[in-house]
Amino acid sequence: MWWGHVVAGAANQEGAGSERVARRGSGLDTLALFALHTVLQVLFLAIVFSKHEFDLGDPIVAAYFGHKFIVDFAVFAALNLLLVRLFRNAIVAVLFTAFYQTLVAANAAVYFYSNTLLDKSHFALIASYSLQGYVDWALILLLSVLALTIVGLGFVLRRLVVSGRWLALLGWTVLAVALTVADVPGRLAARRTSDERFDRVVMVFRNAQLDYSARNPLWVFVNDVLLRTFAENLHRLPGSEKYQEYMKNYHLFSDDFRVSRDPTEFREVLDAFGISIGDRELPDLGLKPFKHVIVVFVESLTLEMLQCHNPDIDVEVSRVLCAPEMQARTFTNLRTTGSPTLQGLTVLYSSHPNYNIQTATGDLNSMMKRTREAGYLNVFIRSASKFFANENIIFKRWGFDRIIAREDFFEREELRKFIYGWGLEDRVLYDEVIDFLDRNRDRKLFLGVLGTDTHPPHGQREYRHLKYPALPPKFNAPFGGAAQFMKAVHHADHDLGYLIERLKEKGLFTDETLLVLTADHSCPPSGVTSGIPNHPRHTMGRVPLVFLTPQELPQARWDRLSSQLDFGPTLFHLMGLPIPKGWWGRSLFDDRPGGLFVGFHQGKIHVQREGDDPLILDDRQPEPPEAAGFMGLFKTVIRDR
């Protein structure tokens, strides 16, 4: 009997020892699982931090990505443990792991090349035309790391078939669920609606960017691919309700698009509407190359706000833009294609009226990609935050090498007093532009400049530290409730003159300089604009377009019917750069007859050939016979590479 107790005790000790070994093996296997899972996660986060300019010293940023690190692994470990325990082999778990790791790698690649997480639009782009040009060392490295981690994880999962425990599965599951339900980062972000650098609107976008990039890759796939594919109404945008409402109203994305290399399939449409897509030969303008190209966008400036272009205004609003030499260089019938700012800039920089499909197709015909190839450093300098409407992501995707904005100016103590309202005061912004040009005068520069002093509805309400000339007598009389806004226009015009004079004083306005003055779009109609005599009651009003250089520019028909689509081809014609064959517009220095306006707003496409009646097409309705094939072209990007 005593022998039986000894044997039983020894067996119990051996079982306990085996259990300790099994637990130790399980712990080591989990540690190996975590290490291999972390490799791609670290790579993804490094790319995200680089693209988004997140600051890990910010407690909310640290909370989001610490939360992501833990939850992502908890989900990964729990699902793998469930699979190995259920099937008692590693095959299904390895297949799941390969899929999961591929999602992480895909998101890393998408962020690296285009600055957004994997979603349905990127799956639509998995075709030969979208993959060409992306086989480089970075992609090869990423695929190599992906393959090695999957192989390594496969060995670990084989061990977990033996060492994995239901209790561990329960622990990781409870941790993942508890952290997700608690959502500490989201609650912290919701409590901080603004800080010294950002206003409330910008914080909404910044918090949404954090929320999106810190999401679990499996959830992103379910939400942004599966739900959008099978039930669009179940798909949920990241971020606060305000962000979701804002982005839905913006209508920036569409899945209804095509990419083609062959414009001849639309030959009948192109001929019928006089659209310039395809190869084109333009006369040489005989200009010397420009080293510095500066495009200044005056926020929401409609041509009818200037007394020289509106006979119903009898006071001097504009001294600079209405100077005789400036009027002689102003295109006076260029109308807005896209509005508000992001849509307008998308059209200006892509020469395509459908701003909804540029992101989905990878911004194939972006102007900045071509100027970069021509050796220019592309820089966007703006008064407002770079994070508004996710523009820090979008502008980089277009091809801007650097974005200098409100946050950068805030870092300098001497500029902070000039930052209020929407951002840095325009005149101070122009000083920063001049200083940047002066520091980089030996480089080829392509600059975009956007102020905010004329931002609707009222423009800059107070000018705290700058002095302006007195307003003309009885200035407010014609404008009623728009008087404050027109005062901002008057001051913005003065600041344009200031910019030109400072460029000359610094020796920066030379034969190698091309200065372009225009607007991001016309001012949208509102209760304020109704006080401006003869101001258009729609979003597709006329905006000024002026090209200035000491070189002698060619003559043109300044009143030709045109739109923002013509901005890019005209600029490239002056710069002597080849015009991408997918651009819709034409050079306004091309003296061939004809003109075309195309505008897009709230699903309606407005088309008008010079001398013809306007035609309105509805994206949701069948095409009329006189526009057969137009919608197909409207939803297609023609690429030449």
- pLDDT at residue 11 above 80? no
Digit-coded pLDDT (tens) for 482-507: 999 999 999 999 999 999 999 999 99
Is pLDDT above 80 for 576? Answer: yes
Residue with tokens 């609003």: 317
- Domain co-membership, 517 together with 410: yes
pLDDT-based confidence at residue 12 (cuts at 50, 70, 90): very low
Asked if pLDDT for residue 408 goes beyond 70, the answer is yes
Query: Do 390 and 538 belong together in one domain?
Result: yes
> Where does the pLDDT of residue 342 fall: very low under 50, low under 70, confident under 90, or very high at 90 and above?
very high
Q: Are 40 and 149 in contact (CB under 8 A)?
A: yes
| pLDDT the model gives residue 20 | 46
pLDDT exceeds 80 at position 19: no
Q: Does the residue 239 lie in any domain?
A: no
Minimal CA–CA distance to 319: which of 565, 555, 498? 498
Band (28; pLDDT cuts 50, 70, 90): confident
Q: Which of 117-131, 157-171, 244-258, 432-446 has the lowest mean pLDDT?
A: 117-131
The letter for the amino acid at 536 is P
Q: What is the mean pLDDT of residues 41-56?
A: 88
- HSE-up (13 A, CA, CB side) for residue 551: 17
> Across residues 435-457, what is the average pLDDT?
97
Predicted pLDDT at 115 = 62
**Domain with 289 in it: what CATH number?**
3.40.720.10
Pick the range with the lowest mean pLDDT from 16-30, 120-134, 152-166, 323-337. 120-134
**Residue 197 has what pLDDT?**
73
Q: Given a cut of 90, is residue 188 above it in pLDDT?
A: no
- Asked if residue 370 is part of any domain, the answer here is yes
| HEC per residue, 28-62 | HHHHHHHHHHHHHHHHHHHHHHHHHCCCCCCHHHH
Residues 269 and 204 reside in one and the same domain: no
Question: Could you tell me if 319 and 212 lie in one domain?
Answer: no
Structure tokens at 437: 């040009």
Does the pLDDT at position 146 exceed 80? yes
Q: Establish if 536 belongs to a structural domain.
A: yes
Q: What is the pLDDT of residue 235?
A: 63
243 in any annotated domain: no
517 vs 135, which has greater pLDDT? 517
For residue 111, what pLDDT band results from cuts at 50, 70 and 90? confident
Residue 234 lies in a domain: no
Residues 435 and 290 in one domain: yes
Q: What is the pLDDT of residue 240?
A: 67
What's the structural domain count of the chain?
2
Q: Do 358 and 478 belong together in one domain? A: yes
Same domain, 263 and 212: no
If pLDDT is split at 50, 70 and 90, which confidence band does 126 have? very low
User: What residues have CB less than 8 Å from 279, skipping those under 6 apart?
Assistant: 581
Structural domain boundaries enclosing 147: 2-218
Respond yes or no on whether the N-terminal peptide bond of residue 457 is cis (omega within 30° of 0).
Answer: yes
Q: What is the pLDDT of residue 82?
A: 94
pLDDT at residue 18 is higher than 70: no
- Is residue 416 assigned to a domain? yes
Instruction: Give the C-alpha separation, 247 to 241, whole Å.
Output: 10
| Residues whose CB falls within 8 Å of the CB of residue 306, separated by 6 or more in sequence, listed in order | 313, 317, 318, 321, 322, 489, 493, 544
Residues 266 and 214 reside in one and the same domain: no
The answer as to whether 228 is a domain residue is: no
Least confident of 47-61, 154-168, 184-198, 601-615: 184-198
Q: Please say which residue of 188, 218, 248 terminates a domain.
A: 218
- Judged against a pLDDT cut of 60, whether residue 17 lies above it is answered with no
Per residue in 208-248, pLDDT (tens digit) is 888 888 889 888 888 777 777 666 666 666 676 766 666 66
Mean pLDDT over the full length of the chain: 88
